[in-house]
C-alpha cells in the first residue's frame, strides 16, 4: 500500500508549527518564516484609508463647529452622528491595518500604519454589541460628569462645576472649600462601575490590535520601545522635582501662616482643597497669599489694554502681528470672517478657547469669547500657535497632518505665550517702560504657581491609568492608588479621608472623557526647551524669562521648519530641528526660573521641606 503523508498544524507557537507526519511516524518543530507583507497592497490600503478619513475628519469637524457655536438639540445630534461615523470607520480601519504588521515594510509605511492604529484613545472590540456598549459607556461617563452638581445644605440653588471653580478661585473659608471639594467628588460616584467595564472593553479592543492593553496602545503613539516612555517621564520629573519641592515648601509655609498649622501642617502633605483649584493642579489663585512682600509683576496688562482701547478683534491682531514678525504669512481672510471672537447675544455657544482646522488645509479659526484682559491676551497667542502649526503641516499626507507627538501642539502654543514679556509689551506699544528686574520675582512666582505646580499632576494622571489598564491597580484599589500617587508626586493629601467607596479620579474630566494626559506634562517640558532654543537662535543673552522672540528672523525660520514637518518624521527629529537635540530636556525650566529658585532657597532656609 502506498504511504500517505498528511501535515496537520496542531499547536501555534511563535514562528513555529508543531508538525506531525502521519504514516511516516515523524514529528518535530520546524521554524516558520514570517509571512511577507505585500507592500503594494499596504500602500493601497493606506491611501484609501487616508482619503476616507480625511473626508470624515472634515465632516465631523464642521458638524462640531456648528454645534459649538450654535448649541441646539439638532446641532448636538448632527455632531454626534458625524463623530459616531468617524469613530466606527477609524475602528474598522485600525483593525484592518493589523494584518499588515511585519518587518518588511518601509519605515514610512510602517509609521502610517502605527499612526492609524493608535489614532483613537479607545478601541472597541470587533463584536458589534460590544462596540455599542463601549460607545454608550463613554457617552454616559461624560454625561454624568457634565451633569454633575453640588447642592450646599440650605442653599437655594445647586452649583455646577463652573460655579465651583469660581468659588475655589475666590473663597478662603476652609469649611466652605472642604464641603465643596467633597460635594463635587460625590458627583463622580456613579462613574466608578462604568469605568471598570470601560477598562475591560477597551483593553479587549486594544488586544485585538496587537497591544497588551489600552495603556500600551497610548504609549505606542510615541514610537518608543516598551517601557521607554515611562522611564523618560521619570527622568524629566527628576530634573524638575527639586524646584517643585522648593515651591511646595514655600506655599505650604505661607498657607500655614495664614490658616494655622493645625490646618496646614508644616512638614506633611498640603490638604488638596486649599490651593485655589478644584484638583490642586494650578495654584495661581493663592498667589496673593504666597507672593513676595515687595508686590507683583510691576504692571497690569488688563489696564494697559483697556487704556489703549483695544477691542476683541485687535487683541487677535496683536497675535497675528507676532507671527508675522517671525516670517509667517498673514492669516487668511476666512479666518477673520469665520472665527468666533465675541459671545453672541442670540444663542448659546461653547466659550472654551480652542483652535480649529476645518478643511485640514487653510480654513483655520479660533473660537473663544474674548475678554479684554491679560489672561485672554496670552490665550490668543497660544491658540494662534495651534493655527499656524495647522497651516504649516497642511501640505503633508493626511495621517501626517498633526504635531510630531501630542505634546508638541500644546507646547508650541505655550512657547509663544512665554514671549509675552515686559520687553515685548514695550515693543508693541502697550507698556511705556519695562519694570526693573527687582519686580521679576512676583512675575516668576505667579508663572511657577501655574507651570511648575502643574508638572506632577500632569504626570500622575496617566501613571494611574496605565497601571489600571495593565491590572497593576485592580478595581478594589482605584481610589487608594490614586491618592498614593498624588501624595508621592504632588505632596498633597485628600481634604477628608477617602476609601474605595469613592472614585476621585472620576472627578477630573479627562478620566471619564478618556483623554490621554501625558501630552500636557510633555508640553510643559517642551515649551521651555523650545523657548530656550529659539531665544538662543535669536541672539538673546539676558535672563531667559525676559526673552521674547518677537521680530527674530532666525527663530522664525527654525520654528517654521519644524512646524512644516507635522508628524511626517519621528518626534526626536522634529525636536532636533528646533532645539539641536533629540532628547527632551527639563533643565530649560530651571534656567527660566533660576532667579525664583534662589529666592525660594532664601525663604525656605529655616523651614522643613519635603513630605
Whether residue 531 lies in the annotated active site: no
Point out the catalytic residue in the list 250, 287, 381, 386. Answer: 386
At residue 611, the 3 state secondary structure works out as coil
What pLDDT, on a 0 to 100 scale, did the predictor assign at position 23?
Answer: 36
Q: At what angle do helices 518-538 and 440-470 cross, to 10 degrees?
A: 140
What mean pLDDT value characterizes the chain? 90
Q: Which of 162, 167, 130, 161 is nearest to 148 (CA)?
A: 161
What is the Cα Rg of the chain in Å? 26
At residue 61, the 3 state secondary structure works out as helix
Residue 242 belongs to what H/E stretch? helix 228-259
All cell numbers assigned to 175: 469649611
Which residues sit opposite 16 in a β-bridge? Answer: 13, 31
Whether residue 108 lies in the annotated active site: no
Q: Do 126 and 93 touch, CB atoms closer than 8 A?
A: no
Q: Is the pLDDT of residue 24 over 60?
A: no
Point out the catalytic residue in the list 352, 602, 605, 606. Answer: 352
What pLDDT, on a 0 to 100 scale, did the predictor assign at position 293?
Answer: 82
Point out the catalytic residue in the list 383, 517, 545, 567. Answer: 383
Q: Mean of the pLDDT values across residues 386-392?
A: 96
Tell the residue number behind the cell numbers 521641606, with chain if given: 609
Whether residue 510 lies in the annotated active site: yes
What pLDDT, on a 0 to 100 scale, did the predictor assign at position 236?
Answer: 98
pLDDT band (50, 70, 90) for residue 32: very low
Tell me the DSSP string of 487-520. Answer: HHHH-EE-SS---TT--GGGGSTTTTTT---HHH
* H, E, C per residue of 124-165: CCCCHHHHHHHHHHHHHHHHHHHHCEECCCCCCCCEEHHHHH
pLDDT band (50, 70, 90) for residue 77: confident
Alpha carbon distance 555, 415 (integer Å): 12
* Maximum distance among all Cα pairs of the chain, rounded to whole angstroms: 107
Whether residue 382 lies in the annotated active site: yes
Give the rounded distance of the alpha carbon of 567 from its chain centre. Answer: 17
Map out the domains of the chain as residue ranges: 1-33, 39-120
All cell numbers assigned to 599: 529666592
At residue 17, the 3 state secondary structure works out as strand
The percentage of the chain sitting over the pLDDT mark of 90, rounded to a whole number, equals: 70
Q: Mean of the pLDDT values across residues 341-361?
A: 89
Tell the residue number behind the cell numbers 501662616, with chain if given: 257
Q: Which of 418, 437, 419, 438 is nearest to 428 (CA)?
A: 419
Q: Mean of the pLDDT values across residues 491-508?
A: 96
Q: Is the pLDDT of residue 226 over 90?
A: no
Give CA separation, 453 vs 237, 282, 449, 490, in Å.
12, 6, 5, 8
Whether residue 383 lies in the annotated active site: yes
Q: Is the pLDDT of residue 33 over 70?
A: no
Point out the catalytic residue in the list 353, 434, 487, 576. Answer: 353
Ramachandran sector of residue 155 (left: φ over 0; alpha: ψ -120 to 50; beta: rest): beta
What pLDDT, on a 0 to 100 scale, did the predictor assign at position 35?
Answer: 56
Point out the catalytic residue in the list 250, 381, 382, 409. Answer: 382
Q: Is the pLDDT of residue 11 over 50?
A: no
What pLDDT, on a 0 to 100 scale, did the predictor assign at position 295?
Answer: 61
Residues in the chain: 611
Point out the catalytic residue in the list 410, 507, 588, 597. Answer: 410
What pLDDT, on a 0 to 100 scale, did the predictor assign at position 297?
Answer: 66
pLDDT band (50, 70, 90) for residue 38: confident
Amino acid at each position: 500500500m502506498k504511504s500517505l503523508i498528511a501535515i496537520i498544524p496542531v499547536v501555534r507557537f511563535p514562528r513555529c508549527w508543531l508538525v506531525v507526519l502521519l504514516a511516516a511516524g515523524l514529528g518535530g518543530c520546524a521554524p516558520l518564516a514570517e509571512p511577507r507583507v505585500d507592500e503594494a497592497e499596504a500602500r493601497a490600503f493606506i491611501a484609501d484609508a487616508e482619503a476616507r478619513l480625511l473626508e470624515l475628519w472634515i465632516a465631523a469637524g464642521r458638524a462640531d463647529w456648528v454645534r459649538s457655536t450654535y448649541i441646539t438639540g439638532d446641532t448636538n445630534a448632527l455632531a454626534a452622528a458625524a463623530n459616531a461615523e468617524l469613530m466606527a470607520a477609524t475602528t474598522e480601519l485600525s483593525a484592518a491595518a493589523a494584518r499588515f504588521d511585519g518587518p518588511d515594510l518601509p519605515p514610512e509605511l510602517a509609521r502610517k500604519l502605527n499612526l492609524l492604529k493608535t489614532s483613537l484613545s479607545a478601541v472597541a472590540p470587533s463584536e458589534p454589541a460590544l462596540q455599542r456598549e463601549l460607545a454608550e459607556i463613554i457617552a454616559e461617563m461624560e454625561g454624568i460628569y457634565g451633569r454633575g452638581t453640588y447642592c450646599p445644605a440650605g442653599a437655594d440653588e445647586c452649583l455646577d462645576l463652573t460655579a465651583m471653580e469660581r468659588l475655589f478661585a475666590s473663597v478662603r473659608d476652609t469649611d466652605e472649600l472642604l464641603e465643596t471639594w467633597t460635594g463635587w467628588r460625590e458627583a463622580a460616584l456613579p462613574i466608578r462601575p462604568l469605568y471598570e467595564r470601560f477598562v475591560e472593553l477597551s483593553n479587549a479592543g486594544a488586544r485585538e490590535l496587537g497591544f497588551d492593553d489600552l495603556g500600551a496602545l497610548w504609549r505606542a503613539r510615541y514610537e518608543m520601545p516598551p517601557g521607554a516612555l515611562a522611564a523618560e517621564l521619570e527622568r524629566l520629573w527628576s530634573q524638575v522635582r527639586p524646584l517643585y519641592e522648593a515651591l511646595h515648601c514655600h506655599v505650604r509655609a505661607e498657607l500655614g501662616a495664614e490658616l494655622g498649622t493645625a490646618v496646614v501642617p508644616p512638614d506633611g502633605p498640603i490638604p488638596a482643597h486649599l490651593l485655589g483649584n478644584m484638583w490642586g493642579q494650578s495654584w495661581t489663585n493663592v498667589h496673593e497669599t504666597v507672593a513676595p512682600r515687595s508686590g507683583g509683576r510691576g504692571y497690569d496688562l488688563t489696564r494697559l489694554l483697556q487704556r489703549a482701547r483695544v477691542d476683541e478683534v485687535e487683541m487677535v491682531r496683536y497675535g497675528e502681528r507676532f507671527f508675522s514678525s517671525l516670517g509667517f504669512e498673514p492669516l487668511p481672510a476666512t479666518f477673520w470672517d469665520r472665527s468666533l471672537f465675541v459671545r453672541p447675544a442670540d444663542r448659546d455657544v461653547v466659550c472654551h478657547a480652542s483652535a480649529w482646522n476645518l478643511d485640514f488645509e487653510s480654513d483655520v479659526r479660533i473660537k473663544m469669547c474674548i475678554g479684554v484682559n491679560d489672561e485672554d491676551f496670552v490665550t490668543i497667542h497660544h491658540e494662534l500657535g495651534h493655527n499656524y502649526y495647522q497651516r504649516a503641516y497642511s501640505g503633508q499626507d493626511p495621517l501626517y497632518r498633526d504635531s510630531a507627538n501630542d505634546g508638541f501642539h500644546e507646547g508650541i502654543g505655550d512657547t509663544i505665550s512665554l514671549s509675552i514679556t515686559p520687553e515685548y509689551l514695550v515693543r508693541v506699544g502697550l507698556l511705556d517702560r519695562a519694570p526693573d528686574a527687582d519686580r521679576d520675582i512676583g512675575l516668576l512666582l505667579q508663572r511657577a504657581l501655574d507651570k511648575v505646580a502643574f508638572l506632577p499632576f500632569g504626570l500622575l494622571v496617566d501613571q494611574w491609568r496605565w497601571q489600571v489598564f495593565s491590572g497593576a491597580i485592580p478595581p478594589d484599589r482605584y481610589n487608594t492608588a490614586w491618592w498614593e500617587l498624588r501624595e508621592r508626586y504632588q505632596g498633597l493629601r485628600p481634604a477628608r479621608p477617602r476609601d474605595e467607596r469613592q472614585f476621585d479620579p472620576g472627578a477630573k474630566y479627562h478620566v471619564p472623557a478618556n483623554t490621554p494626559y501625558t501630552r500636557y506634562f510633555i508640553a510643559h517640558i517642551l515649551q521651555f526647551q523650545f523657548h530656550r532654543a529659539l531665544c538662543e537662535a535669536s541672539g538673546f543673552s539676558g535672563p531667559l524669562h525676559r526673552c521674547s522672540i518677537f521680530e527674530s528672523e532666525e527663530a522664525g525660520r527654525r520654528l517654521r521648519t519644524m512646524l512644516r514637518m507635522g508628524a511626517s518624521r519621528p518626534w526626536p527629529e522634529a525636536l532636533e530641528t528646533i532645539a539641536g537635540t533629540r532628547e527632551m530636556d527639563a533643565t530649560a525650566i530651571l534656567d527660566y526660573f533660576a532667579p525664583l529658585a534662589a529666592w525660594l532657597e532664601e525663604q525656605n532656609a529655616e523651614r522643613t521641606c519635603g513630605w
